[in-house]
Structures are given as C-alpha cells and as structure tokens.
Amino acid sequence: NWTPDAFVETTVAELKEKLGDDRVILGLSGGVDSTVAAMLVHKAIGKNLYCIFVDNGLLRKNEFTEVLKKYETLGLNVIGVDAKEKFISALAGVTDPETKRKIIGNAFVEVFDEESHKVENAKWLGQGTIYPDVIESVSVTGGPSQTIKSHHNVGGLPDYMKLKVVEPLKLLFKDEVRRVGRSMGLEDKFISRHPFPGPGLGIRILGDITAEKVQILQEVDHIFISGLLEDGLYDEVWQAGVMLLPVQSVGVMGDERTYESVVALRAVGSTDGMTADWSHLPYEFLAKISNKIINNVKGVNRVVYDISSKPPATIEWE
C-alpha cells in the first residue's frame, strides 16, 4: 500500500543520508517530474540544491520566462541559462531522430557540466527521471538490442563529468509523481501541466531543425494549447502538441497559389504514456483551431489531426 506521504518521508530520509553536506545540481524543465524531484531534494538538503533551467531554443512560446517566474514562488534556487545558440547550431542539418536526441542530450550534459563548475563542491546531478523513461530507453527484453527511443535524461554521464546521478523518482509512474507533488503542496499549475519531452520541439520538427521552423511551431503550438485551455479541454487530454512536417503542399490564399508546410495536431489520453489513445476532440474545436492556425501563421497552409494510438504509433513522432 504505497502512499505519497510515506514515499516523501522515506525518500527525504534516504536523500539526507546519501547526500549529506554535498551540493546538488538539478536540471528543471518546468514539468511536474523535475519540479517534484527538486522539491524532494530541497526538502532533504535545502540551500545545497542548485537548480538549472536551460533554454535550449526548443521550448514552447514564452516558456523560458514564464517557467522561471513560476519557480520564484517555490523558494528554489534557480539559475536560468540561455543556451539557444549552442543547441540550434549543434542540430544544424541533422534529420535522424535518434541522432537529434543524442545531440540534444549531449548538449544538456555539457551545459550542466559548465554550470556545475560554478558551484563549489557540487557532487551530484539530480534528475526527474521516472520509471517509463527508464523502461522505454532500455532494450526490449529477449529481443535484439533495440531502443524504442533514447530519452535524453537516461543513460548515465560521460566520464569527464565527475558528478554522480541522483534520481528520486526513478521507480514512479507519472500519476504517482503527481500524487507526490500534490501531497507536498505543489500548486495545480505544475501538477496539471501536460508532459513535455526533454528534447522539446526538437523531436516535433521532422527533418532538419532551424530557428525559423522552431518559431513557426511555437506559434502553432501556442494556438492549439491556448485553444484547449480556453475551451476547457486541456484537462480532458493527457498530452497535446503539434508536429511540423517536412512536407509542403499546395493551397490557395485569396487568389494566390501557396506551397507551404503541413502541421499535425496530436492529443492523447493516457495514464502513464506507455499506451495512449488519440483524443476525440470536438470537430468544431478542430475546425476553429485549424482556421486560426492557417490564418495566423505564415508558412503553414494545411492542418491534419493525428488519429493513431500507441501502440503501434508513439505519442511523439520521433
């Protein structure tokens, strides 16, 4: 009989024991996992926890400033690092999904390494890794070694990095993490936030990534997510987002022919992300969002809705 309160109590005690007077660097993403991980470590070691929130250039519209603002209310010591240039230039010309994930993962590690040198006596890297991240990143049992998707926050650290890893949520599923957050008094704006992948929009732009494509996708995503919030549908779906496809199609605007990008809206219901069903969003809502996107976002002239479930599809397209 697992309870969130008992989990907090034992975990904090274990962390105190394990970490002692060491300092911990922890990467925050604004999502519930890393936030709850930070709260647990903070409860155990207080001001010896240094949180880092990286702008990798692949965040949602306005996310960097909004998330930093949200953290002010939690009393965590958070440093915001602008690393947009680093990520976008490392990704230039790369189209293979797993290569993108690896590049993004490595760039995160480099940023954390750099930041950790600024904190004297930093010995640990804290991460909000949860159980599904771990299982989906390891080989399928019995079969040939095959990773479904490498999660950037799984897989250990390179030798040059002297930090040890601490992952207090490693055995929990998302709904359990949310219960732990709630029991620690975390506000609903953190708890009810949809999951967002560590590699961010980088795995929602199929094909190569450019700053311009990121900006287009940020605008489209913003229209979709704000629409869900406005119409009271946000909490009805487990996760939602948009993919920018590497496909152009012919359209007509006024009496001009257009030849522009296609975006795919994705919304799913799930409990743990391991399986998922596409959400049956109302047609009227989809119609409104589609019009809004095409009328407002330059570079997009077609919107499609993803009606695949997981398995056999996955939630993200890469």
CB of 206 vs ligand XMP, minimal distance in Å: 13
CB of 30 or CB of 195, closer to ligand XMP: 195
- What strand order describes the sheet that includes 164-166? 78-82, 49-55, 23-28, 122-126, 164-166
From residue 70, give the alpha-carbon distance in Å to each of 47, 117, 177.
19, 26, 19
Tell whether 34 is in a known binding site: yes
From residue 150, give the alpha-carbon distance in Å to each of 105, 108, 154, 233.
9, 14, 7, 30
CB of 17 vs ligand XMP, minimal distance in Å: 27
Tell whether 133 is in a known binding site: no
CB of 254 vs ligand XMP, minimal distance in Å: 37
Tell whether 35 is in a known binding site: yes
CB of 11 or CB of 239, closer to ligand XMP: 239
Contact 204, 244 (CB under 8 A): yes
Contact 237, 229 (CB under 8 A): no
CB of 240 vs ligand XMP, minimal distance in Å: 10
Looking up tokens 């189209």 gives: 95
| Rounded Cα distance, 161 and 237, in Å | 39
Contact 229, 267 (CB under 8 A): no
CB of 99 or CB of 291, closer to ligand XMP: 99
CB of 269 or CB of 299, closer to ligand XMP: 269
Tell whether 29 is in a known binding site: yes
CB of 75 or CB of 207, closer to ligand XMP: 207
CB of 133 or CB of 260, closer to ligand XMP: 133
Contact 237, 279 (CB under 8 A): yes
Strand partners for 166: 126
| Rounded Cα distance, 119 and 25, in Å | 8
List residues near ligand XMP by CB under 6 A: 133, 136, 149, 151-153, 195, 197-199, 239, 273, 310, 314-316
Phi-psi region of 211 (alpha: psi -120 to 50; beta: other; left: phi over 0): alpha
CB of 266 vs ligand XMP, minimal distance in Å: 10
- By DSSP bridging, strand 277-278 and strand 256-269 are antiparallel
CB of 253 vs ligand XMP, minimal distance in Å: 33
Tell whether 65 is in a known binding site: no
Annotated binding site: 29-35
Annotated binding site for ATP: 29-35
